[in-house]
């Protein structure tokens, strides 16, 4: 717990799991969950570097802004997913290709 | 003791995030995501970030997770109990992600990070964050407020019936 690398390894694993969720899931809400995992991994990195390397609060500030951004993104994404469901009856993002033709 | 708690939280995060990524049932994935968020809040406490830990619990567990549960409940027929989720290209995705993870781990474990030996003692961070928010980060703070307003109006407009 007193080494930067234990936090960095955790963050890398969290990021990889989030990326796997994003690239393999078809459900829109599940993809959103993967994005949240990735943002959490980035937050851990920012705060860990803030504690161990820079010794300032700038990493905390950036993490606050990332959390704020994640909240806004979740609200808008939920609205889009609900619209998709109303129009097509499912939220599989790989079948939402009406703009392709 | 603190070491033990740290590794318990570490493993909790990895296992619950794994459930999110590999779980069959969407509802199980959302509840596993709650474990991940709470674990990350615990990691923030180990990193002396008390304000961020509380923010994480309030915003993620209290807000975003509820939004996600709403999204699942409103877009699936719960009564038919068909909430299992399908995945595409599991093998290829796993291959790419494992390769990326290997690159990340070799890069960050082979580097000798400077300043890793003397972590600071705990001091509360809310005062410093508040001061920085209204001095160095004032422009960002104002932009964030406008962005939140835009997201609020946009989400309300998008979710209307008669779009």
Q: Please tell me the distance in Å from A12's CA to the nearest CA on chain B.
A: 7
In this prediction, residue B82 carries a pLDDT of 54
* Domain of B38, in residue numbers: 1-95
In this prediction, residue B131 carries a pLDDT of 92
Domain for residue A65, yes or no? yes
We report the CATH number of the domain holding residue A9 as 1.10.287.3510
Q: Measured between beta carbons, which residues in chain A are less than 8 angstroms from residue B96? A: 23
Decide which of B82 and B143 is more confident: B143
Query: CB–CB of A60 and B46 under 8 A?
Result: no
DSSP B117: S
Are B90 and B135 in the same domain? no
In this prediction, residue B19 carries a pLDDT of 92
- The pLDDT of residue B78 is above 70: no
Query: CB–CB of B129 and A64 under 8 A?
Result: yes
* Domain of A80, in residue numbers: 4-92
Q: Please tell me the distance in Å from B81's CA to the nearest CA on chain A.
A: 15
Query: CB–CB of B109 and A63 under 8 A?
Result: no
Domain for residue B102, yes or no? no
- The pLDDT of residue B145 is above 60: yes
Are B72 and B131 in the same domain? no
Domain for residue A25, yes or no? yes
- The pLDDT of residue B115 is above 70: no
DSSP B62: I
CA-CA distance, B133 to B41, in Å (whole number)?
Answer: 21
Cα radius of gyration rounded to whole Å, chain B: 20
In this prediction, residue A67 carries a pLDDT of 94
Q: Total structural domains in chain A?
A: 1
Are B76 and B137 in the same domain? no
As averages over each run of 10 residues, the pLDDT of chain A (101 residues) reads 85 94 88 94 93 87 93 90 84 79 65
Interface test with B, best of A27, A77, A87 (most B CBs within 10 A): A27
We report the CATH number of the domain holding residue B61 as 1.20.120.1200
pLDDT tens digits for range B37-71:
999 999 999 988 899 999 999 999 988 999 899 88
In this prediction, residue A2 carries a pLDDT of 75
Are B87 and B162 in the same domain? no
pTM for this entry: 0.89
CA-CA distance, B26 to B153, in Å (whole number)?
Answer: 29
Given the cut 0.95, state whether the ipTM is greater than it.
no
Are B63 and B143 in the same domain? no
């Amino acid at each position: 717990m007193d080494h930067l690398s234990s936090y960095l390894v955790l963050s890398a694993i969290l990021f990889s799991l989030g990326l796997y969720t994003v690239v393999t899931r078809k459900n829109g809400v599940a993809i959103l969950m993967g994005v949240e995992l990735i943002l959490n991994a980035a937050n851990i990195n920012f705060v860990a570097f803030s504690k161990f390397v820079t010794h300032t609060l700038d990493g905390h500030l950036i993490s606050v802004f990332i959390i704020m951004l994640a909240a806004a993104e979740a609200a808008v994404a939920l609205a889009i997913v609900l619209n998709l469901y109303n129009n097509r009856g499912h939220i599989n993002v790989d079948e939402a290709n009406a703009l392709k033709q | 003791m603190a070491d033990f708690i740290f590794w318990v939280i570490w493993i909790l995060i990895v296992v619950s995030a794994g459930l999110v990524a590999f779980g069959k049932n969407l509802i199980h994935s959302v509840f596993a995501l709650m474990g991940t968020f709470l674990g990350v809040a615990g990691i923030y406490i180990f990193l002396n970030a008390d304000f961020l830990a509380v923010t994480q619990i309030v915003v993620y567990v209290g807000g975003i997770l509820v939004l996600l549960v709403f999204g699942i409940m409103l877009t699936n027929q719960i009564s038919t109990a068909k909430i299992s989720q399908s995945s595409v290209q599991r093998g290829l995705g796993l291959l790419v992600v494992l390769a990326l993870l290997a690159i990340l781990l070799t890069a960050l474990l082979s580097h000798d990070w400077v300043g890793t030996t003397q972590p600071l003692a705990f001091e509360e961070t809310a005062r410093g964050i508040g001061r920085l928010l209204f001095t160095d980060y004032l422009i960002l703070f104002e932009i964030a407020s406008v962005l939140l307003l835009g997201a609020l109006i946009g989400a309300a407009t998008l979710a209307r019936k008669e779009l």
